Chains A and B, each alone.
Chain A
Amino acid sequence: GAVVSQHPSWVICKSGTSVKIECRSLDFQATTMFWYRQFPKQSLMLMATSNEGSKATYEQGVEKDKFLINHASLTLSTLTVTSAHPEDSSFYICSAHFGSGGSTDTQYFGPGTRLTVL
């Protein structure tokens, strides 16, 4: 199947700093990528939809100025957690949409990035 990578796989930062997480589709182009957040032993919560060449669409309750999303190319989306605080510590997962609207469309998930804010 298609491969989606995330970098870094884990990061520790000090409170108040910003952290950038990259999501790449390695062998296909993705006009749409999604960013999720997963708390320990909980499910994935969709944060935002990242669209190549346009602004991201954020889910209700997600601060767009805190979680900056840039989808600069068809294979790369970045999530920047600005002025991170301990409550932002979580597992961040991206997915890339593969397909053109047909029955074979699938989301491929990255391995996730664990963020710990001290």
Chain B
Amino acid sequence: AQSVTQLDSQVPVFEEAPVELRCNYSSSVSVYLFWYVQYPNQGLQLLLKYLSGSTLVESINGFEAEFNKSQTSFHLRKPSVHISDTAEYFCAVSVKAAGNKLTFGGGTRVLVKP
């Protein structure tokens, strides 16, 4: 079985400051890694994903995440946040052989302050 741990339940950050959301996973087999974002009163949206290849993946809105196999981590970063980045962020893993089921972390609530 897989598990995902998001170490920070809440991260307050000032506008234009950098932010890092930590994600660690546990699995006995290779996994695919995802970050989803849930804006207030909306459904989850895929932010970025790691399947294979380059360990650094980027999203279109300035977020990036780096897969570190030795540390079993997939931390999410953004060098300069905006008010509109206020949301809940979920890290997730899936195992292709398990039918693409997603296992989610507990979520990190990011509150961007002006």
Contacts and interface: CB of A to CB of B under 8 A. Distances in A.
Interface of A: 1, 4, 6, 32, 34, 41-46, 49, 57, 93, 95, 97, 101, 103, 105-112
Contact of B42 (A49, A105, A111): A111
A69 B36 CA distance: 25
Interface of B: 36, 42-46, 49, 51-52, 90, 96, 99-107, 109
B51 A112 contact: no
A1 B36 CA distance: 14
Contacts of A112: 43
Contacts of B45: 109
B101 A44 contact: no
B43 A43 contact: no
Given A6-B43, A46-B101, 18 more contacts: A4-B43, A32-B100, A42-B106, A43-B90, A43-B104, A45-B104, A49-B101, A97-B100, A103-B51, A103-B52, A106-B46, A107-B46, A107-B100, A107-B102, A108-B46, A109-B44, A110-B43, A111-B42
A112 B109 CA distance: 18
Contacts, number: 50
